[in-house]
Amino acid sequence: MTLRIPLLGIVAACATFAATPSAFAQVSFQNSFAAFQGVSTTTLKADFEGLHTEGGISDPYTEGGVTFTDPKNLYVALPGGAAAVNDFDAPVTSNVLTVSGNEDITMTFAGPAPTAIGFTSLTNRFNAPVVTVFDTSNTLIGTYVLAQGPSSVGFVGITSSVGIGSVHWLADRGGIKDTAIDNIYVGVTAVPEPHTYALMLAGLGVMGALARRRRRV
């Protein structure tokens, strides 16, 4: 007996697969700006340099289409300011976004969901902060424990095969020694993720095989 699979059924299955990409999302992390630039096209959206007074700011706070929120209160620290002197282990050389207490900052994005997010990261002397990434339906698609050393300034780059709905920065003991983020870059991946090409080729292969079988019948 020959098993016949309707072509429309395959097309419908592929459409369903494409409509639910988050289960198959691929998220990559880069720990240098150069590596991030190599796989994405982005624009600097927020650097907090327009905030000229150190202290608490509105929460949520929006700059360049990026909205920042925290369960407690957002705080901007300036070079040489009280927080930069008393609470940071890493050197603060430009305005940075932090919190009075444990940093638990969420970033969301206006407009079409980006597939590339990058930002400067400041760590404290304790365990590394954790970055989690969610798609537009608030499904977790990636988790990254910072690879940079303690008490340092580094970079976090995120590229995704699906649209990013939010990025979450969670410090370890930020209430004792602050962590911070700065220079938020938003854009798209430079090329489709490899699994996207693989899926397309697999679908074309199945459709071709079915077409050849139909001709033989």
- Residue 128 belongs to domain with CATH number: 2.60.120
User: For 132-155, how does the pLDDT look when each residue is reduced to its tens digit (9 = 90+)?
Assistant: 999 999 999 999 999 999 999 999
Picking from 127, 194, 122, the residue whose alpha carbon sits closest to that of residue 161 is 194
Picking from 183, 166, 71, 68, the residue whose alpha carbon sits closest to that of residue 121 is 183
- Is 161 domain-assigned? yes
- The one-letter amino acid code at 200 reads M
Residue 154 Cα distances to 121, 142, 195, angstroms: 5, 19, 29
CA 119, 120, 126, 132: dihedral to nearest 10 degrees? 0
Mean pLDDT calculated for residue range 38-59: 96
- Is 133 domain-assigned? yes
Confidence of residue 171 (pLDDT cuts 50, 70, 90): very high
Confidence of residue 64 (pLDDT cuts 50, 70, 90): very high
Confidence of residue 166 (pLDDT cuts 50, 70, 90): very high
| Distance (Å, whole) CA 132 – CA 145 | 9
Query: Which region among 10-14, 44-48, 65-69, 172-176 has the lowest average model confidence (pLDDT)?
Result: 10-14
Comparing 89 with 86, which gets the higher pLDDT?
89
- Is 16 domain-assigned? no
The pLDDT, as a whole number, for residue 49 is 98
Residue 12 tokens, joined = 């419908």
- Is 142 domain-assigned? yes
- Is 14 domain-assigned? no
| Distance (Å, whole) CA 54 – CA 97 | 10
- Is 156 domain-assigned? yes
- Is 194 domain-assigned? no
Instruction: State the total domains in the chain.
Output: 1
Q: How many other C-beta atoms are found inside a 10 Å radius of the C-beta of residue 105?
A: 25
The pLDDT, as a whole number, for residue 8 is 41
Comparing 66 with 5, which gets the higher pLDDT?
66
The pLDDT, as a whole number, for residue 110 is 97
| Distance (Å, whole) CA 140 – CA 23 | 10
The pLDDT, as a whole number, for residue 24 is 72
Q: Residue 70 above 60 pLDDT?
A: yes
* String of DSSP letters for 164-196: EEEEEEE-SSTTTSB-EEEEEEEEEESS--HHH
The pLDDT, as a whole number, for residue 86 is 76
The pLDDT, as a whole number, for residue 217 is 57
- The whole domain housing 49 covers 25-189
**pTM of the complete model:** 0.79
- Is 139 domain-assigned? yes
Q: Residue 84 above 90 pLDDT?
A: no
Q: How many other C-beta atoms are found inside a 10 Å radius of the C-beta of residue 205?
A: 10
Query: Which region among 46-60, 79-93, 146-160 has the lowest average model confidence (pLDDT)?
Result: 79-93
